[in-house]
Structure 1
Amino acid sequence: MSHRGRWLSGACAGAVAVALLVAGSVLDTRPPRHGAGGGAGSGAAGTAVGAYLHYGSPGVERMAELSRWLGGTELRAGHTYLPGDTWANIEGAPDSLRSWARWRRERADRLFVLNVPMQERNEAGVSDGRVAELIRSGARGANDEHFRRLAGRLVDLGVPDTVIVLGWEMNGFDYTHRCRPDPENWKAYWRRIVAAMRSVEGQRFRFDYAPNRGGDAIAWTSCYPGDDVVDVVGMDSYDQEPGRTFDEQVRQPYGLQQQVDFAKAHGKRISYPEWGLFRHGDNPEYVRGMLAWFAEHRPLYHSITDYCPHGVWQCGQNPRSSAVFREFLSGGR
């Protein structure tokens, strides 16, 4: 799915937070516990809780505000995106990276999660034919230097252990870094990028392979580039079809259960860089299901997309789901 709305998110966070505080104090819709991984204890069990709150420095500031709303629960996953408009931005030009790096360095147990596009003009509606040409060019090494520069910038900022969500939702129809126009060369291109970034002295990056849930434009298993260049098998999973109910989203082909099984077979941790409400409105059963799923399967991290229509804190249109989220993750639970 397209995410141009990220750039405009969170303008009214303060007012929304007050409204949701009221909602959270009135409704009691707590999910059932599913072992030691649930609630605030999930951090101690190894899962870092996060939220996408804004792509720039305001996102860093809002992490502390959301933590307070959750009764002091530590948000250990800081999640943002590099713009996919120009190569200069993909190389890490945004000044806000300094703010995120400073946040990461403040505590040793934090994760900095950075979505990195594989192509410029990433949301420009580029044709399949042109995408195929760009994939082949990248597979031949045309873009290696851009990614070496990004790696060097992250190392210089003191975040050499950044989790890189590279070419996310590659199984979809929209992004210029999509896989379907040439899967074999797409995999070769991913491998070139990882090799280029790993060539930078001091790096300890982890690379997160994060398709959309479901079949979408191509089976995400067809784009998997290999165990030696993937550290985490992620999944972006919003409350939308395919899968009317949460149980259907688990069981569907290329759904949540297949992700878990695939990761286990390949010896990888799982993650959820993006999740949230969508086509089915304010759906507390979906939020309850996702949080219980995280508690059971203990991903490396999960990060809710917290702006409308997906969110529960900066978005006031989902009060019942907000109450579930707050109760389940509250530090006072």
Structure 2
Amino acid sequence: MSRRRRWMVGACVGTVTAGLLFIGGAIAPAPHEASVPRGTAGGSGGGSAVGVYLHYGTPGVDRMRGFSHWLGGTELRAGHTYLPGDTWTNIEGAPDSLESWARWRKQRSDRLFVLNVPMLARNEAGVPDAEVAELLRAGAHGEYDHHFRKLAQRLVRLGVPDTVVVLGWEMNGFNYTHRCRPDPEAWKRYWQRIVGAMRSVKGQRFRFDFAPNRGSDAIAWTRCYPGDDVVDIIGMDSYDQPPGETFDDMVTQPYGLQHQVDFAKQHRKRISYPEWGLFRHGDNAEYVRGMLGWIAEQRPLYHSITDYCPHGVWQCDQNPHSAEVFRDFLAAGHGR
């Protein structure tokens, strides 16, 4: 999903993205496991926390209480936001709202903070393939390592050294400057450099989430996989849009949901769904039911539904049937 679209929607309706996140047993366990609350799905290694992302900044934290109330009091124990990809300063963690997210995370030891991090500045500037390839090669040679060390240092200083970093998301697509297709080998080496730079910071315990779009898109996402030593979670963004007319199509298509699960099992990784939501087929309750059922069955580390129009179920009132399915499923504690 285009980041440009996120920022435009944020300017118009006061929100950017909202999500519900299930947190299963982590690769590095939380300090303690809480009992499974109402509205959560089970996961290996402990209960799953429900969380929400309602805005990239401080309003996202503030709105969690309303979302929890809408879900009938379901406990929210995960938060998700994005760093802007316009400038290197922002990718280094300049936004003041990170302090709000860090305060929220530290209020309970069993919470999870998920942060999408762009790999390149001007991430939505329509940079042509040839220039993207040059930027990726520069990154692969270490030219941008210092930006990511600064980000890691800021996260550690803020007290969130265990952040889940969704790095270079939707890299198999056509849009972002941090896309993989212009030079897959350079892209993989660059990812490795970034992870190495961030892991070099004292006190960090980051987990890195490799999260392509569902389906083939611009390039098979497996061609971009940078290696088991630099990936902790294998995610997938999956909206109700082609490729795939039905939810079953989305599961069985090449590089679809089942492929992700199988690939993760082969590489002994947890899975996640950092972005999913309604789109091309409107208020499609069957899609929401299918996705929630799949999530309950597969027990990912977390998942996140995008909650601005046309994708969402709480801040978007054009999807009442889907909202009812979403709310009833989670408030009723399905998937435990």
Query: Structure 2 length as normaliser, TM-score?
Result: 0.89
Q: Distance in 1 between matches of 2:118 and 2:267?
A: 24
Q: Does residue 41 in structure 1 map to residue 45 in structure 2?
A: no
Confirm whether residue 4 of structure 1 aligns to residue 12 of structure 2: no
Deviation at 1:109, TM superposition (A): 1.1
Q: Structure 1 residues 328, 249: closer, same or farther in 2, change over 3 A?
A: same
Q: CA deviation at 1:145?
A: 0.2
CA distance in 1, matches of 2:248, 2:187: 32
- Secondary structure of 2:81's match? strand
Assess, with a 3 A threshold, how the Cα gap between structure 1 residues 38 and 127 changes in structure 2: closer, same or farther: farther
- How many Å separate the matches in 2 of 1:126 and 1:11? 25
Give the direction of change, closer, same or farther, for the CA distance of 1:123–1:141 in structure 2 (3 Å limit): same
Structure 1, unmatched stretches of 5+, are 15-36
Q: Which amino acid aligns with 1:6?
A: R
Separation in 1, partners of 2:210, 2:168: 8
Q: Would the aligned equivalents of 1:47 and 1:302 in 2 still touch at CA under 8 Å?
A: no
1:183 & 1:46 partners in 2: Cα distance?
37
What is the match of residue 252 of structure 1?
253
- Structure number with greater CO (CA < 8 Å, separation at least 6) is 1
Count of residue pairs brought into register by the alignment? 311
Cα shift readout 1:272-323 (whole Å, capped 9, x = no counterpart): 0000000000000000001101110100001111100000000000000000
Deviations for 1:240-288, whole angstroms, at most 9, x for unmatched residues? 0000000000000000000000000000000000000000000000000
Q: CA deviation at 1:123?
A: 0.3
Secondary structure class of the residue paired with 2:41: helix
Aligned partners of 1:229, 1:327: CA distance in 2, in Å?
Answer: 38
Aligned pairs for 1:221-260 (under 5 A) are 221-260=222-261
Alignment identity in percent? Answer: 76
Q: Contact 1:270–1:299 (CA<8 Å) still a contact in 2? A: yes
Gaps of 5+ in 2: 16-35
Are 1:39 and 1:328, in contact at CA under 8 Å, matched by a contact in 2?
A: no
State the partner residue of 1:22.
Answer: none
Cα distance in 2 for partners of 1:46, 1:176 equals: 37
Letter in 1 for 2:291: M
**Contact 2:38 2:74 (C-alpha < 8 Å) held by counterparts:** no
Aligned to 1:271: 272
Native 8 Å contact 1:170 1:179 kept in 2: yes
Match of 1:9, SS state, is helix
Q: CA RMSD in A?
A: 1.9
Write the deviation string for residues 116-160 of structure 1: whole angstroms up to 9, x where unpaired: 000000000000000000000000000000000000000000000
Give the drift of 1:39. 7.1
